Structures are given as C-alpha cells and as structure tokens.
C-alpha cells in the first residue's frame, strides 16, 4: 500500500512516560501519533516509559491513527531494548532518531525485522545522505528534527527558516523521489497559534505532508493547514471537468480561470480530491 494514501496532517509526539498524555491522545483528532521514548523522556524514566507505553498500546484506543514509536538511538543504553520491545507492540512503524546513513537503518532492521521504519532527519550527515536513506527498502517515512538540526548547524531560529532550507529541501527531494511520507519539524512555541500557522503554511507550500506537534493545542491549526481548502477542492473539480470536456473533443489543453490545464494538472487535481476524501473517511471513522 502506498504509505502516502493516509493523511499525515497532524503528527503528535506523546512522551511515553506520561500516562495522562497517553490517555488524552485517545480522544484527539490527530492523523498520526509518535509515542516517544527518546527526547521527551528523561534518563531516569527510560525503562519505566517503555513499560508504560507497552501497557497503553495493549489497552488500545488509538486506531485509526497511524501509530509510530520513536526509540532511543541504538548507540545509547536503551536503544536495543526499545527496539526489541517495539516488536511486541501493535504499531505501524518504528522511528529511529539521529539517523546518519542507510547502514543505521540496516542495524535497526536486524532487530525489528520487516517492521516499517521511519527516520528522524536531524543531522548534517543525514541531509547529505538523504537519498541513500530514503532508498532503503524498509523506509516508509521521514520526520524533520529541526531542533537537533538547528543545534548541529549552529543556526539561529528565524521565522523564515532560511538557514534550514538547504536541509529541508534535500530531505524533501529524497522523500519525494522514493514515494515516502515526509513531515515537517515541530514549532516549539506551543501557545503561539499565529506563528504555527505561518510555519505550517510554509511547510505545506514546500510539499511536506504534515507537521509534527508537541501539544494538543496545535492539532487544529495543522489539520487545517495541510488539508485541501474548499477553494482548492472546487478548482480541482472544475479543472477535471474542463479537461475531460476538451479531451472529448480531441484537444489536450483546457483553460480554467485564465490558466492552462493539461494532463499533469489533472493528476494533481485528482490527488487533491483523493486527499480530501481520505480526510473525510478518517473523520467519519
């Protein structure tokens, strides 16, 4: 199944150590959840968090959201135990932090077998090796780790994210070339809805499938930003209708709102409608 056939507008991190947040997530309208054992969990809590998460997932209540567990790196004291534990959890994928190369994905797959893998793209080495990481046969998704990337690049946080653009662009190219899901990094100021909306719009325009989030208050903004708008849906329908009409008369180019519509635009229009339908189905289900 094409991993991009499901919506990924909102992808919420939930600390695996927080039972209250794990419970809260059962009622949140997010498209996907990253159950976190890495940076949201302190060293003292790591082992307990693994057990707490295992219990929460066994209880269930998270479907139909996509369920992903972010483990600690395999070079840490906890990574291998996390990876073994994930094999016994009912999840869709395992997320490996600080991936540097395709060899890191191979090392995880030795433990997790054929479970789909997602990669945190958050180091300069990952940006430079994005193509080989994306081409790994078990990889189905990428998550931008913009906090770690900023740290490694020694950049300042800027609203336009100019210092990150090269890295974001390389990962987008790699993910799109391989048909992977790719979601944007988090927006740290979780009470600033306006700033979040600006960053979501930028990510959406660049081609990200959605945004990773750290707080329930961010969900609605991301869900709106990454869904096709009513205007986009209307335009897509009119483009398809106009193109089918000219095609029936033996021509290959239609004009809608003063702009040409060719076969390739119709492909995009159909993708927009399919995405809108997938979102509707998710909300209904």
Ligand X SMILES: CC(C)(COP(=O)(O)OP(=O)(O)OC[C@H]1O[C@@H](n2cnc3c(N)ncnc32)[C@H](O)[C@@H]1OP(=O)(O)O)[C@@H](O)C(=O)NCCC(=O)NCCSC(=O)C[C@H](O)C(=O)O
Question: Rule CB under 5 A: which residues touch Mg ion?
Answer: 122, 145, 148
Q: From residue 22 to residue 61, what is the string marking binding to ligand X with x (rule CB under 6 A)?
A: --xx----------x--xx---------------------
User: In angstroms, rounded to a whole number, what is the distance separating the alpha carbons of residues 146 and 161?
Assistant: 10
Whether 280 has a binding-site annotation, put simply, is: no
Q: Which residues contact 10 (CB under 8 A, 6 or more apart)?
A: 29, 30, 31, 32, 210, 211, 213, 218, 219, 222, 223, 226
Residue 184 sits in the site that holds ligand X (CB under 6 A) = no
Strands 10-15 and 210-213: parallel
User: In angstroms, rounded to a whole number, what is the distance separating the alpha carbons of residues 179 and 172?
Assistant: 10
Residue 82 sits in the site that holds ligand X (CB under 6 A) = no
User: Could you tell which of ligand X, Mg ion, none binds residue 215, using a CB distance below 5 to 8 A set by kind?
Assistant: ligand X
Buried-state track 134-157, b at ≥16 Cβ within 10 A, e below 16: bebebbbbbbbbbebbbebbeeee
Residue 73 sits in the site that holds ligand X (CB under 6 A) = no
To the nearest whole angstrom, how small is the minimum distance from the Cβ of residue 240 to Mg ion? 41
Residue 147 sits in the site that holds ligand X (CB under 6 A) = yes
To the nearest whole angstrom, how small is the minimum distance from the Cβ of residue 147 to Mg ion? 5
**What number of residues does the chain have?**
285
To the nearest whole angstrom, how small is the minimum distance from the Cβ of residue 240 to ligand X? 39
3-state secondary structure 10-25: EEEEEECCCHHHHHHH
User: In angstroms, rounded to a whole number, what is the distance separating the alpha carbons of residues 169 and 160?
Assistant: 14
Nearer to ligand X, 168 or 236 (CB): 168
Residue 3 sits in the site that holds ligand X (CB under 6 A) = no
82, 92, 122, 209: residue in contact with ligand X (rule CB under 6 A):
122
- Binding region for ligand X (CB under 6 A): 12-15, 20-21, 24-25, 36, 39-40, 120, 122, 145-148, 185-186, 190, 214-216
């Amino acid at each position: 199944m094409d991993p991009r056939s499901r919506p990924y507008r909102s992808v919420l991190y939930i600390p695996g150590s927080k039972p209250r947040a794990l419970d809260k997530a059962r009622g949140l309208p997010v498209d996907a959840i990253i159950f976190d054992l890495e940076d949201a969990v302190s060293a003292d809590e790591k082992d307990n968090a693994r057990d707490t998460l295992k219990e929460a997932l066994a209880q269930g209540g998270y479907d139909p959201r996509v369920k992903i567990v972010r483990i600690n790196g395999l070079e840490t004291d906890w990574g291998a135990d996390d990876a073994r534990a994930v094999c016994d959890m009912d999840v869709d994928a395992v997320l490996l932090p600080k991936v540097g190369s395709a060899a890191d994905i191979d090392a995880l797959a030795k433990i997790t077998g054929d479970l789909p893998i997602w990669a945190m793209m958050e180091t300069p080495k990952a940006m430079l090796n994005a193509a080989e990481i994306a081409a790994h046969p078990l990889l189905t998704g990428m998550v931008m780790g913009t906090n770690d990337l900023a740290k490694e690049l020694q950049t300042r946080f800027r609203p336009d994210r100019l210092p990150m653009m090269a890295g974001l662009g390389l990962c987008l190219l790699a993910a799109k070339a391989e048909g992977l899901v790719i979601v944007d990094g988090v927006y740290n100021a979780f009470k600033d809805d306006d700033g979040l909306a600006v960053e979501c719009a930028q990510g959406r325009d660049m081609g990200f499938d959605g945004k990773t989030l750290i707080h329930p208050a961010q969900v609605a903004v991301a869900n709106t930003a990454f869904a096709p708008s009513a205007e986009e849906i209307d335009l897509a329908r009119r483009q398809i209708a106009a193109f089918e009409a000219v095609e029936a008369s033996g021509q290959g180019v239609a004009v809608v709102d003063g702009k040409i519509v060719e076969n390739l635009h119709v492909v995009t229009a159909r993708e927009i409608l399919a995405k809108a339908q997938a979102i509707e189905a998710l909300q209904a289900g």
